Structure formats: structure tokens, C-alpha cells
Chain A
Amino acid sequence: MTEEEDFWAEAGEAALRLGEAGEANHDPGFAQARREWEVLLAPLLEEVAEVAPPPLVWARLQAATRPARAQHVLLRGHRWAGLAFLAAAAILVFSLLGPAPSQSTVIASQEGDFAVTLELRTLTLTPEKVRLPAGKSAELWLILPGEKPRGLGLLAVGQNFTTQIPVPQNTPMVLAISLEPPGGSPTGLPTGPVIGEAKLTPS
């Protein structure tokens, strides 16, 4: 074996991950040779059967790549532009991927807007310029077909609200926000005016 052959054999071993445990060869030429092997052998990867990943992966990827502030910026002072954007985005995702595991909408109200996203069963509400009447709190309700409203919790005007919702697939649900006394509804059902609502169908 020539020295050059030896070098290529070693780089090939590294590409096959057969090198010795401490194969910490930092030489750029070696890394390059190893990389070249990886590309030369890559046609083997084309023989591997395709497998559709579960929708969960796309949902997680979307959650990981969503710019946290984009929705705020879009909604600020431009409610309809924001709604149009979200609707367009939802249609786009649906058209590209079929039933998408992630959905978004907006609960618009006189008191301000709440951007809503639903990823699998994780519901997140982001308040946008929300101002509540003095002495009132905002309570979120989940209403399923034929059922009484279920309280999901109080919404703070200054921070995101996240909860898990127990909704079966393809069941249309309504989210509603009502004004309640501080601390929430005393009866377990909405007692004040409903200031906004939105309909979602978890996929």
C-alpha cells in the first residue's frame, strides 16, 4: 500500500465509522477525503425505501421555527391584515401538506385580540394589546358539540397562555372568552359577556 492509498483507506474507514474510537483526525485534508467518501457512497442511500414520518414531526418543526414575535408585529394595529395573513398561511399549509397538525386563528374582541395556535393538543393564546375593564378578568372556555362550556383558565393580559386540551381528532370546538369577576366565574360556567370566540377543528 502506498502512503496515499493508506490515507484513502483510512478516510474510507472514517466515513464508514469503522475508525478507531479516538479517530480524532482534525487534518482538513482528511476531513475532506472522508467527506468525499460519504458522497461517493451516497448512492447506497437511494436504495432505502421512503417512509412517511408521523405528522408530529412537522408540528414540532413548525413550533421550533415559528418566529415568536411575527404574529405580534402582524397583528399590531392591523387586525384585518393579520387575520388575512393567518388565513392565507393556514390555507398555504393545508394546500402543501394536507390536513396540517398545526392551526392558528385569532379571537378578536373590543378589548383586544388573542392570537390562537393549536398544535396537536397544545393550545396557546397570545394576547395582543388587550385591555380589560377595571375589576374584570378574562376567562377562556372550551365548548364541544352538545356539551357545557369547560373552563380552561384565566387569561393574563400581558403573557401567553398555554394549556393541553382533551379534544378528539376532527371534533369541531369553540373557544370563547368571557368577562368574569376577578378570580374567574363563581359558578364554573360563563357568567359575564362573551367578548370573542373562534372555532377550530383539531386534526
Chain B
Amino acid sequence: MDHDAARTGAALARAELAACLARVAARDPQALAELYQRMSAKLFGICLRILGERAAAEDVLQEVFLAVWNKADRFDSARGISPVTWLAVLARNRALDRLRGQKTRRFSALDEAAEIADAALNAEALLGQAQDRERLRECLRGLDARAGNAIRDAFFGGQTYQKLAAQAGMPLATMKTLIRRALIQLKYCLGHD
């Protein structure tokens, strides 16, 4: 029962945030203030973790909210992805772009949402976010420890195969093979093939 209640609460919060995102994209300043209040600390944490520098993280944080405001990136609730996940992924991508000195990513941002694999997102929609987290954690634990750590490191950016290989003290080709195998294993473990 508690679980159901928590789930309903989470679904409500999610619907609220999705509605808020839609209002921001419609240029509602009040919605922007609400979105900022709810999400800025979480997204700033992500930017800061990736960039390691406040000034750059502040710039990217502003960029993320402007992207929603200017409809450069669009959230589509029909695709089943949670708005929090969508914003977090957006912040990570923008921060990594900055880290690499790219101004914008090469994809056509407007259509990016439409490219998302529905299968994966429907699967995600069925799972609670906490379950997603637990599952990913479990799957990562199942990997070769060196590969699991390398994937975590790389996820937060600034890594190259050279760096990862040097950190683990193994030849470059070995690291590449290790990671590629781990990614495939992870994919099977997460249940999408």
C-alpha cells in the first residue's frame, strides 16, 4: 500500500513537472521560476560535478534553462521518459559539450526527442525511477570491477581510452576491449537487446 501511495505521489510530481516544462516552453515566466526553484540545485550539482568549475557550471546551468525556454530542446511526456531524467540528461550533455569546447552538439536538437527509442522509454516508463537506479547499480556491480569503474568515470566526462588505460595500468587495446564487452553485458543485463 505504501509503495502504491509513494508511486502515485511520484507520478503526480512527475506530471506536475511535465506540465511545468510545457508552460516554460510556452514562455510562461512564472513556470520558469517554478522550474528553476525545483530543479536548479539538482542540475547545478550535475554541471559542477562534470565541469569542476563554478563559472562554467553557472553558464551551462543557464544554458539548460534557456534551451527549454527557447524550445531548443523539447520534452515530450508521451515518450515515457521522466522530466527529471530528461533535464538531467540535457544538463549532462550540455556540460560535456562545454568540457569538450563544443558550442553545441552536432545533432539537430529540435528533433532529438523524436529520435529516442520508444522501446527503451516505454520500458523505463513501466519501471519506477528507484527501480531503474537499483537495477543499473546491480548491473554495474555485475561487471568486471575495472570496467565498471571506468564506465562510471567516463560517464561524468573528461575521459579518453588513453586516460582510462593509464589509470588502470593496462594497455590501451585491453581497456577498449574490456569496456566494449562490459557495455554489451550491461545492455543485456538492463534487458534491452
- Chain A contact residues, CB within 8 Å of chain B: 1, 4-5, 8-9, 12-13, 16-18, 24, 26, 28, 31-33, 35-36, 38-46, 48-54, 56-58, 60-62, 64-67, 89, 92-93, 96-97
| B16 CB contacts on chain A under 8 angstroms | none
Contact across chains for A57 and B92 when beta carbons are under 8 A apart: no
B130 CB, min distance to chain A CBs, angstroms: 9
A-B contact count (CB 8 A): 153
- How far, in angstroms, from A18 to B115 measured CA to CA in the complex? 21
B58 close to A (CB within 8 Å): yes
Contact across chains for A17 and B100 when beta carbons are under 8 A apart: yes
| A60 CB contacts on chain B under 8 angstroms | 62
- How far, in angstroms, from A4 to B187 measured CA to CA in the complex? 11
Contact across chains for B62 and A64 when beta carbons are under 8 A apart: yes
| B85 CB contacts on chain A under 8 angstroms | 39, 42, 45
- How far, in angstroms, from A9 to B187 measured CA to CA in the complex? 9
Residue of B with least CB distance to A59 = B62
Tally of contact residues, B, Cβ under 8 A: 67
Query: Which of B49, B96, B136, B183 is the one whose CB lies under 8 Å from A17?
Result: B96
Most chain B CB within a 10 A radius of its CB, from A13, A18, A33: A18
Q: A9-B184, A42-B132, A97-B33 are in contact. List 10 more A-B contacts (CB 8 A).
A: A16-B159, A39-B120, A41-B155, A45-B46, A53-B58, A56-B58, A57-B58, A58-B40, A61-B36, A61-B62
Residue of A with least CB distance to B97 = A17
| B65 CB contacts on chain A under 8 angstroms | 61
B118 CB, min distance to chain A CBs, angstroms: 9
| B30 CB contacts on chain A under 8 angstroms | 92, 96
| A61 CB contacts on chain B under 8 angstroms | 32, 36, 62, 65-66
Chain B 38-55 near chain A by CB (<8 Å), digits 1 or 0: 001110111011000010
B94 CB, min distance to chain A CBs, angstroms: 12
Contact across chains for A40 and B136 when beta carbons are under 8 A apart: yes
B179 close to A (CB within 8 Å): yes
| B11 CB contacts on chain A under 8 angstroms | none
B22 close to A (CB within 8 Å): no
B12 CB, min distance to chain A CBs, angstroms: 19
- How far, in angstroms, from A40 to B188 measured CA to CA in the complex? 12
Contact across chains for A42 and B88 when beta carbons are under 8 A apart: yes
B144 close to A (CB within 8 Å): no
Residue of A with least CB distance to B134 = A43
